[in-house]
Amino acid sequence: MMSTEAKLELRELGNTGLKVSSVGFGASPLGNVFGTVPEEEAIGSVREAFNSGINFFDTSPFYGGTLSEKVLGNSLKALGVPRNEFIVATKCGRYIEGFDFSAERVTRSIDESLARLKLDYVDILHCHDIEFGSLDQIVNETIPALQKLKEAGKIRFIGITGLPLGIFTYVLDRVPPGSVDVILSYCHYSINDSTLEDLLPYLKSKGVGVISASPLSMGLLTENGPPEWHPASQELKSACQAVAAHCKEKGKNISKLALQYSLSNKEISSVLIGMNSIRQVKENVAAALELVSVGKDEGSIREIEGILEPVKNQTWPSGIQQG
Ligand code: NAD
């Protein structure tokens, strides 16, 4: 049941009219990409999230080769609440088999996703990791195809996602105004890399809603450390390991501090954090509520920034060179 205690903040998402919870539920872990999650725990995590005020759920056919979408679909159905009480984003163009941003593939993709999610529409359909495709195809073929899906009522809003920040300006400078509603950036607004901040005024001027994912830098800013596939350099991994050890020694929770850092910029409508257990949902919601009532632990964040200084804003290559 909904508690009567403090609730998670809702923030406007660009010009969409959607009000998304400041903490969004990243469902990639439900595709077992960070280790196996029993379906019962997944359903329990989604329920805990919804009951704590998280109304925004993000998935993709790519996560766990469609598993994340299926498990999220089952979990949302198990909630048994009206469809307009939660906001779902999924993606197109990236699959376990590879990338395909053609109009034909993304048009077929939404029907497959809706069947797995057990939904009639999704609120947002993102083109997933567009730096791996041709950005001109995204502009000239994919977005127009998504526009048709919007007209057909299968999706409400259109987004683009990826790692290099230059992809957003490239596309947004070339599409008709208002045809891309939101962008999803990841690993660029966390303690070790905050480069998204410089792009926020531009995104605002374009009227585009901003979602930022991976506040824990895909596991770098956790006590357990990142998964084996993590693309960061050894230097960055070691620096984050040193941060985790430092926090542990000081009795501080690195993941809580990292999430609070990402949440503190209100120009970002929702921070998507990957969650795979009821415990993690509770911890992350508590971190968000503490941020509102007490504020950031500035002293600890400064100490962490000091340790990360040599690797600040270090990222990794992603995608194909456009030319
Ligand atoms: P993240 O930084 O959110 O880290 C997730 C990891 O942190 C998981 O292992 C999770 O179990 C762990 N974790 C979560 N809460 C914790 C806590 N309180 N204490 C300790 N560990 C905790 O990275 P992410 O999952 O990659 O990103 C979040 C979501 O954003 C994804 O699930 C996905 O939905 C979305 N995303 C999208 C893109 C894209 O579109 N290209 C890229 C990255 C992420």
Q: Are 190 and 215 in contact (CB under 8 A)?
A: yes
63 an active-site residue?
yes
Q: Which CATH superfamily is domain 10-224+255-297 in?
A: NADP-dependent oxidoreductase domain (3.20.20.100)
Tally of CA atoms within 13 A in the half-sphere of 70 that contains its CB: 8
Report the predicted TM-score, pTM, of the whole model to 2 decimal places: 0.97
**How close is the Cα of 26 to the center of ligand 1, in Å?**
6
Percent of the chain topping pLDDT 70: 98
Task: Give yes or no for residue 28 CB within 6 A of ligand 1.
Answer: yes
Q: Could you tell which of 214, 236, 248 is best to mutate to test the pocket of ligand 1, judged by most ligand atoms within 8 Å of the CB?
A: 214
Nearest atom, ligand 1, residue 190 CA: 2
Task: Give yes or no for residue 222 CB within 6 A of ligand 1.
Answer: yes
Residues 30-37 have a mean pLDDT of: 84
**How close is the Cα of 281 to the center of ligand 1, in Å?**
12
Task: Give yes or no for residue 75 CB within 6 A of ligand 1.
Answer: no
140 falls in which pLDDT band (50, 70, 90)? very high
Residues 157-170 have a mean pLDDT of: 98
Q: What is the pLDDT of residue 2?
A: 43
Task: Give yes or no for residue 185 CB within 6 A of ligand 1.
Answer: no
Inform me whether the pLDDT recorded for 1 exceeds 50: no
Inform me whether the pLDDT recorded for 146 exceeds 80: yes
| Residue whose structure tokens are 């379906």 | 39
As a whole number of angstroms, the distance between CA 94 and CA 60 comes to 8
Task: Give yes or no for residue 255 CB within 6 A of ligand 1.
Answer: yes
Is the dihedral angle over the CA atoms 90, 92, 97, 99 positive or is it negative? negative
Task: Give yes or no for residue 189 CB within 6 A of ligand 1.
Answer: no
Task: Give yes or no for residue 24 CB within 6 A of ligand 1.
Answer: no
* Neighbouring-strand partners of residue 213: 186, 272
Q: What is the pLDDT of residue 33?
A: 78
Task: Give tens-digit pLDDT for 74-97.
Answer: 999 999 999 999 999 999 999 999
Q: Could you tell which of 20, 21, 23, 28 is best to mutate to test the pocket of ligand 1, judged by most ligand atoms within 8 Å of the CB?
A: 28
Mean of pLDDT over the chain: 96
Tell me which residue has its CA closest to atom 25 in ligand 1. 274
**How close is the Cα of 154 to the center of ligand 1, in Å?**
27
**How close is the Cα of 56 to the center of ligand 1, in Å?**
14
323 falls in which pLDDT band (50, 70, 90)? low
Residues 145-173 have a mean pLDDT of: 98
Q: What is the pLDDT of residue 253?
A: 97
Residues contacting residue 251 through CB under 8 Å, at least 6 positions apart: none
Task: Give yes or no for residue 41 CB within 6 A of ligand 1.
Answer: no
Judged by average pLDDT, the poorest of 2-6, 30-34, 55-59 is 2-6
How far is the CA of 10 from the CAs of 89, 229, 242, 271, in angstroms? 16, 33, 34, 11
Domain boundaries, the chain: 10-224+255-297
Task: Tokens for 65, please give them.
Answer: 């080769």
Nearest atom, ligand 1, residue 126 CA: 40
How far is the CA of 130 from the CAs of 205, 290, 319, in angstroms? 22, 36, 8
**How close is the Cα of 213 to the center of ligand 1, in Å?**
7
Nearest atom, ligand 1, residue 227 CA: 9
Q: What is the pLDDT of residue 68?
A: 97
